[in-house]
Amino acid sequence: MKWDIDDVQKWPWHKHPPGLVNPDTGNSVQFNTGSWRSRRPALDLDKCSQCLVCYIYCPETSIQVQDRKVTGIDYDHCKGCGICAEECPRQAIALEDEAVQAG
Amino acid sequence: MSKTMAIVGTDAIAEAMRQIDPEVVAAYPITPQTAIVEKFSEYVADGLVNTQMVKVESEHSAMSACVGAAAAGGRVMTATSSQGLALMWEILYVASGLRLPIVLVNVNRTLSAPINIHCDHSDSMGARDASWIQIYSENAQEAYHNVLQAVRIAEHPEVRLPVMVNLDGFIISHAVDRIDILDDAPVREFIGEYSPAYPLLDVANPVSVGMFDGLYGYFFEAKRAQEASMEKAMYVIQQVGEEFGQRFGRPYGLWEEYGLEDARACVVALNSACGTIRTVIEAMRQEGKKIGLLKLRVFRPWPGQELVRVLQHFPVVAVFDRALAFKGGHGGPLYTEVAASLYEAEKRPLLANYVYGLGGRDLSVSMVRQALEEIWQAAEAGRVASRVNYLGLRE
Ligand code: SF4
Ligand code: SF4
């Protein structure tokens, strides 16, 4: 990280770059879009054919892949949009209610 | 150092654009602006410029393409009028909010309805709070000079705000005038190279532009910074105007004065009407009726304090407005601004407002004469007979 923004919430107005440009990269990992989720995609690897369609479609890069194989879902960043479940040709992803999940 | 040409106003603007040679121009045709982009696209086709011309399906897209190109780091221009500016509205705020130094030439035309293609200032006045710098031009020569200066003002590191250069539709845009077009080389030297702050195309230094602000919330801070840059723009506009004068022999400031030294009443106006007003003032001054003209060039940033210093010395100030603010009889937008600033004056002049020329209604010498006689009488009597007046309206 080349930009020190630890105390950014205390910055005075004149300290921010013009137009709130963010001159730093790779920091969206710090933004837990998972907190937006009301429905949770549940992956059933028994049904999965490893076509990787879900990986391509996921807008939050939340489909975890290792050695070209889907291994799970990153729930810190999955916002529960359901695109993966919609696109999966094998119905290997089902959306479950977060409230039910939480019990 | 320059060549004199007999050309219409739109051609003078196209000449400025040719000399600026922006990286990207995105535009959509609308009367009376169309001729600018038409001419400029000939220059593109003939290879006289290196510009990437983006033909879009609406002005909303035109301004959006300008935003993208400017964020990428390009020098970007467009031109529009009236409904076109109105359709850009949403993106005007994006351009200024992202601090992109786009230069837009607005050929002033009224807004529908009733549908009307002629000149008034309702288009640009409506955009007055969009955080765009607004510069007005009496004639095509000034419009040409203002466009050249606009690039420098917009791109100044302490400003980084978009600039709108205004000129009157048809009256200036479509009239043939004697224009001195400066030589390319000194113009290009004056404009200089553009070094964008955070260009998206600088792949070695990637940045994010236009991120969502809703959760942490720095929007308020960003807007305050924009306001501060508008304040800085006041000085940058004057610096650039002075430098322009040193290089090309014609300096520019926040406004131009005529006969103010000994005037007992002052007229404040924008754009082409100033020519007619000056002619009438000239005649009246020969009769001993000492009236002066303050031709305002910069409307945004609003030079309030600077204006107060000058205007507070006049017994009467009359503001000419080519637009309404629809406040319910309280006068036009320029009048409102002048009046608000004069509240802080030690000595407040009597004020009068003359609304004229809506939808291109002609402003004749006799109409101006009638108004200026009233203003003169107000100066003599120490009392303004009627605060808001409509010049040339069938009553
Ligand atoms: S629900 Fe949406 S965000 Fe979550 S993994 Fe599926 S596609 Fe990605
Ligand atoms: S789209 Fe369905 S089948 Fe394809 S990899 Fe993802 S879960 Fe497996």
Q: Which DSSP string corresponds to chain A?
A: --S--TTGGG--GGGSPGGG-B---S-GGGS-GGGG-SEEEEE-TTT-----HHHHH-TT--EEEETTEEEEE-TTT-----HHHHH-TT--EEEEEHHHHH-
For residues B230 and B371, state if they share a domain.
Answer: no
3-state secondary structure of B276: helix
Pairwise CB contact (< 8 Å): B213 & A16: no
- Please indicate, yes or no, whether residues B98 and B235 belong to a single structural domain of this protein: yes
CB contacts of B211 in chain A (<8 Å) are 20, 22
Which of B217, B248, B279 is the last residue before a domain boundary? B248
**What is the whole-number distance in angstroms between the Cα of residue A29 and the centre of ligand 2?**
23
- For the cut 90, the answer to whether the pLDDT of residue A41 exceeds it is yes
B314: CATH: 3.40.50.920
Does the beta-carbon distance from B216 to A16 stay under 8 Å?
no
Shared-domain flag, residues B239 and B262: no
Residue B294, classed as helix, strand or coil, is: strand
CA distance A17 to chain B (A): 9
For residue B13, give how far its alpha carbon lies from the nearest alpha carbon of chain A (Å): 29
- Ramachandran category for residue B259: left, alpha or beta (phi over 0 → left; psi -120 to 50 → alpha): left
Determine the pLDDT at residue B278. Answer: 98
On whether any CB of chain B is under 8 Å from the CB of A9, the answer is: yes
Mean pLDDT on B266-278: 98
Q: Count structural domains, chain B.
A: 2
| Average pLDDT of the segment spanning A32-59 | 96
Q: A33-46: buried (b, 16+ CB within 10 Å) or exposed (e) per residue?
A: bbeebebbbebeee
Residue owning tokens 């319910």: B328
Does B304 lie in the same domain as B243? no
User: Residue for token digits 């290196």?
Assistant: B50
Q: Are residues B186 and B201 in the same domain?
A: yes
**Rounded distance from Cα B133 to ligand 1 centre (Å):** 43
Torsion of CA B243, B341, B285, B383, to 10 degrees: 180
Is residue B160 within 8 angstroms of chain A, CB to CB? Answer: yes
Which residues of chain B make contact with A3, given a CB cutoff of 8 A?
A: none
Fold classification of A32-102 is Alpha-Beta Plaits (3.30.70)
pLDDT of residue A1: 47
Residue B214: which pLDDT band, with cuts at 50, 70 and 90?
A: low
Distance, in Å, from the CA atom of B16 to the CA atom of B22, rounded to the nearest integer, reads: 10
Domain shared by B142 and B221, yes or no: yes
C-alpha A62/C-alpha A82 separation (Å) is: 12
Does one domain contain both B239 and B93?
yes
**What's the gap in Å between B10 CA and the centre of ligand 2?**
59
Report d(CA B91, CA B101) in Å as an integer. Answer: 13
Of B98, B205, B218, the CB nearest to A16: B218
Picking from B187, B216, B248, the residue at the C-terminal end of a domain is: B248
Same structural domain, B149 and B297: no
Structural domain for B47, as ranges? 2-248
Query: Is the Cα dihedral B370, B375, B379, B381 positive or negative?
Result: positive
Query: Where in chain A are the domains?
Result: 32-102
Partner A contacted by B94 (CB < 8 A): no
Of B232, B248, B264, which residue sits at a domain end?
Answer: B248
Tell me which chain A residues have a C-beta less than 8 angstroms from the C-beta of B197: 17-18, 21
For residues B52-80, average pLDDT: 98
By Cβ distance, the residue of A8, A19, A22 closest to B222 is A19
Provide residues with CB under 6 Å of ligand 1: A 41, 58, 60, 62-63, 73, 78-84
Same structural domain, B90 and B239: yes
Rounded to two decimals, the pTM is 0.92
At residue B215, the pLDDT reads 61
Mean pLDDT of A55-77: 97
Is B11 found in the same domain as B160?
yes
Q: Does A8 touch chain B (CB under 8 A)?
A: yes
Which residue from A12, A18, A22 is facing B99, i.e. has the nearest CB? A18
**Predicted confidence band at B109 (pLDDT cuts at 50, 70, 90)?**
very high
B58 and B194 part of one domain: yes
Worst-scoring range by mean pLDDT, B22-31, B140-149, B200-209, B373-382? B200-209
CA of A53 to the centre of ligand 2 (A): 6
pLDDT in tens, B337-382: 999 999 999 999 999 999 999 999 999 999 999 999 999 999 999 9
For the residues A62-80, what does the mean pLDDT come to?
A: 97
Is the pLDDT score of B139 beyond 60? yes
Give the span between the Cα atoms of B33 and B35, in whole angstroms: 6
The residues near B384 (Cβ < 8 Å, ≥ 6 apart) are: B316, B350, B351, B352, B378
